[in-house]
Amino acid sequence: MESLDGKGPITMELVARRWLVPGILELRLGRPADFTFLPGQFLRFVMDGYQRDYTMVSAPDAETLDFCIAMVEDGRFSGDILKADIQDSVQLSGPHGYFIFQGPANPAVFVATGTGVAPFVAFCRCGMGAALLLHGVATPGRLIYQDLLQSACRGYVPCISQPSENDDGLKNAFPGRVTHYLEQQLTPGTYDFYLCGRGAMIRDVTALIDQQFSDSRLFIETYD
């Protein structure tokens, strides 16, 4: 039984797949008629015996539902999705989630690590990029959607945790983790922080916000 109300499985077709950068795939699914979602929401891939969640990077009115997917060593979904063929069917449930833009109450700061940038890509594609975006990655080779984020966000700062001398040409880059940028560079004030990525970053940034920006609002999406 097909369902578009977020409760049951939906069948979609894999229509395209490409490498955004080594180790990060972009996957495109054909969008069923009448499927609606809010930027920042995710779909749950219902695989044979397990499930994985992935945030849509496409705008809600796009023809396809797009995802950026980090390949994880020995990852179950990572391996299975590499083996899938174009035109294969996948089962999903959703849309799920509440990590959506809450409006401009305070200046917004988006903080992502890795593919945690996905909801912010969707925000930017819908005119909700009036924010400072910090994108934390190990090396510049892991940055994705740079042109879009640079043009749509009020500020865009790649935070490179393992910088090298060859990174010199990278515009506005900060040599260090997102936590260090917030600690050292963000003007004291009251913000709406949106954090998305692995739990360790969420934990560290939340502690920092409690110490330095305690009147701020905080919205989080944890990827593990």
Which residues bind to ligand FAD, rule: CB under 6 A? 42, 52-55, 67-70, 72, 74-78, 97, 114-115, 118, 221, 223-224
| Under 8 Å between Cβ of 111 and 196 | yes
At its nearest, how many Å lie between ligand FAD and the CB of residue 50?
Answer: 7
Is 181 strand, coil or helix? helix
Distance from CA of residue 166 to its chain's centroid? 26
Question: Whose Cβ is closer to ligand FAD: residue 105's or residue 138's?
Answer: 138
Question: Whose Cβ is closer to ligand FAD: residue 114's or residue 140's?
Answer: 114
Question: Whose Cβ is closer to ligand FAD: residue 16's or residue 72's?
Answer: 72
Question: Whose Cβ is closer to ligand FAD: residue 121's or residue 186's?
Answer: 121
Put the strands of the sheet holding 108-113 in their side by side order: 155-160, 131-137, 108-113, 192-197, 217-222
At its nearest, how many Å lie between ligand FAD and the CB of residue 3?
Answer: 20
- Closest residue to ligand FAD using C-beta atoms: 75
How far is residue 87's CA from residue 15's CA, in Å, rounded to a whole number? 6
At its nearest, how many Å lie between ligand FAD and the CB of residue 93?
Answer: 12
Residue 180: enclosing H or E segment and its boundaries?
A: helix 178-185
Please state the φ and ψ torsions of residue 65, each to the nearest 5 degrees. Answer: -100, 115
At its nearest, how many Å lie between ligand FAD and the CB of residue 112?
Answer: 10
Question: Whose Cβ is closer to ligand FAD: residue 152's or residue 196's?
Answer: 196
The string of DSSP letters for 118-177 reads: HHHHHHHHTT---EEEEEEESSGGG--SHHHHHHHSSEEEEEESS--GGGGGSTT-BSS-
At its nearest, how many Å lie between ligand FAD and the CB of residue 95?
Answer: 11
At its nearest, how many Å lie between ligand FAD and the CB of residue 114?
Answer: 6
How far is residue 153's CA from residue 131's CA, in Å, rounded to a whole number? 6
Question: Whose Cβ is closer to ligand FAD: residue 134's or residue 186's?
Answer: 134
How far is residue 134's CA from residue 195's CA, in Å, rounded to a whole number? 10
